[in-house]
Amino acid sequence: MTTIVESRTASAELFVGAIGPSAEVVPSVDALRHHLEQRPDEFAVVLGAGVNLTAAVSLADTLRVTRPALSVILLRQRVDSSVLAEALRSGMREVVEERDLTGLSLAVRRSQSLYEALTAAHSGHQESAPGRLITVFSAKGGVGKTTVSTNLAVALSDAGHKVCLVDLDLAFGDVAITLQMSPVHTISEALAIVGDIGSEELRPLLTKYSANLSALLAPTSPELSEPIGRHLIGKILTTLKQSFDYIVVDTPPAFDEHVLQAFDESDLLLLLVTPVLPALKAAKVTLETFDLLNFPRDKSRIVLNGYNPKIGLSPSDIETALKSEIFVSIPTEPTEVPASMNRCEPIVTSHPRNPASQAFVALARKCVEVVPTAETDARPGLLVSANTDGRSLFRRRSKTS
């Protein structure tokens, strides 16, 4: 957040307009000192042109020691070299002419980025985030990405983990229809968030599926996805890691900028392949692309979907061609899997004994083994505890709206 020291109402309104409505205004440096005591997360202070230079310098001198991640931005009617020199010596980050509202807005944004970088580096924020991100990907369409990601998310949540399913197939995503959720709120609303995006800001955008499973749904029409950039996706995914044990990401069949961002944030990448030659060729090219992107091989696993022992390529053919072991094989269930999709109910819920459901449960368990959360590490019985009542290991949960 930003605080502006400005006693002239008209100027204060202009500055708030440039910075954003979350900026707060105080009338004096004394009021600012008091205000900052209550605001440990403030990232910028803007000192209006009415603030006397000596008071501004003295304040900046103190803040650079007591609040090094907080930037002081000085506004002056005219910026000359003597003001600039004194400001920089005292530790102010920027000096901007007061009529340059664009310059002010950019200076505040730079301050925010600096604050985020400094506080993340200091607290090891990224590394200590509890959530693990699992991306389900294939460069080929129709190989089962949505089927696998939805069933994996449900299986993980049934096992007691707090899960968020993100539909990153922004133009044509069908997580909502697959799980029969109405897309009242979607990821495109994140574009309207002013200032920093935190868990509080994201919560209203999520759609609840069950007690442990929420979803961040794709926009309702393709053109709404266009303004969504890679940076925003990165911010959303890292923020979700603060609130969920697992984030499962469904993807479009393409290496678009959003998918590349999800790769960057992924702890585990499930590369789907079906037992047919074109899918195998796509998986091979994808693995080569991972190498070109410097994506660590040890973070990806091959998932064979639609396995049929009587037809198609054999698992050993696939392993030989991809020079990688198959992590989990999901059998083809030509009746039950499409039928469950048409009923908008994941097969792990509707038919828990079906071999495909059991494979999804096994996939969830193996994912937890490969990328445990801090909580599963501390409580190794978490997966098993769901079995103590004699019901299935991954309990069926009723849907809540």
Ligand X SMILES: Nc1ncnc2c1ncn2[C@@H]1O[C@H](COP(=O)(O)OP(=O)(O)OP(=O)(O)O)[C@@H](O)[C@H]1O
User: Contact positions toward ligand X, by CB under 6 A?
Assistant: 141-147, 169, 253, 305-306, 330, 332-334, 337-338, 341, 356
- Least Å distance, CB 164 to ligand X, is 18
How far is 398 from 401, CA to CA, in rounded Å?
Answer: 10
- Report the interface residues with Mg ion, using CB under 5 A: 145-146
When the beta carbons of 11 and 146 are compared against Mg ion, the nearer one is 146
- Residue 117, classified by CB atoms within 10 Å of its CB into exposed (0-12), middle (13-18) or buried (19+), is exposed
Q: Are 103 and 110 in contact (CB under 8 A)?
A: no
- Least Å distance, CB 125 to Mg ion, is 32
When the beta carbons of 2 and 138 are compared against Mg ion, the nearer one is 138
When the beta carbons of 58 and 289 are compared against ligand X, the nearer one is 289
When the beta carbons of 249 and 304 are compared against Mg ion, the nearer one is 249
The site partner of 334 among Mg ion, ligand X, none (C-beta below 5 to 8 Å per kind) is: ligand X
How far is 160 from 210, CA to CA, in rounded Å?
Answer: 11
When the beta carbons of 146 and 340 are compared against Mg ion, the nearer one is 146
Closest CA to 3 of 67, 58, 47, 49: 47
- Least Å distance, CB 57 to Mg ion, is 58
How far is 150 from 215, CA to CA, in rounded Å?
Answer: 10
What is 31-57 written as a DSSP string? HHHHHHHT-TT--EEEE-TTS-HHHHH
- Least Å distance, CB 141 to ligand X, is 3
Q: Sign of dihedral through CA atoms 248, 253, 259, 265?
A: positive
H or E stretch covering 346: none
When the beta carbons of 94 and 169 are compared against ligand X, the nearer one is 169
Q: What region, left, alpha or beta, does residue 314 occupy, with left being phi > 0 and alpha being psi -120 to 50 degrees? A: beta
Return phi, psi of residue 396, to 5°.
-80, 135
- Least Å distance, CB 384 to ligand X, is 27
When the beta carbons of 46 and 302 are compared against ligand X, the nearer one is 302
- Least Å distance, CB 274 to ligand X, is 8
When the beta carbons of 169 and 265 are compared against ligand X, the nearer one is 169
- Least Å distance, CB 387 to ligand X, is 25
- Least Å distance, CB 156 to ligand X, is 17
- Least Å distance, CB 325 to Mg ion, is 25
Tell me, what amino acid is at 59?
L
For residues 282-317, b (16+ Cβ closer than 10 Å) or e, as one string?
bbbebbeebeeeebeeeebbbbbbbbeeeebbebee
The site partner of 268 among ligand X, Mg ion, none (C-beta below 5 to 8 Å per kind) is: none
When the beta carbons of 214 and 357 are compared against ligand X, the nearer one is 357
Give 258's contacts (C-beta < 8 A, 6+ positions apart).
Answer: 168, 170, 228, 230, 233
What is 152-201 written as a DSSP string? HHHHHHHTT--EEEEE--TTT--HHHHTT---SS-GGGGGG--S---HHH
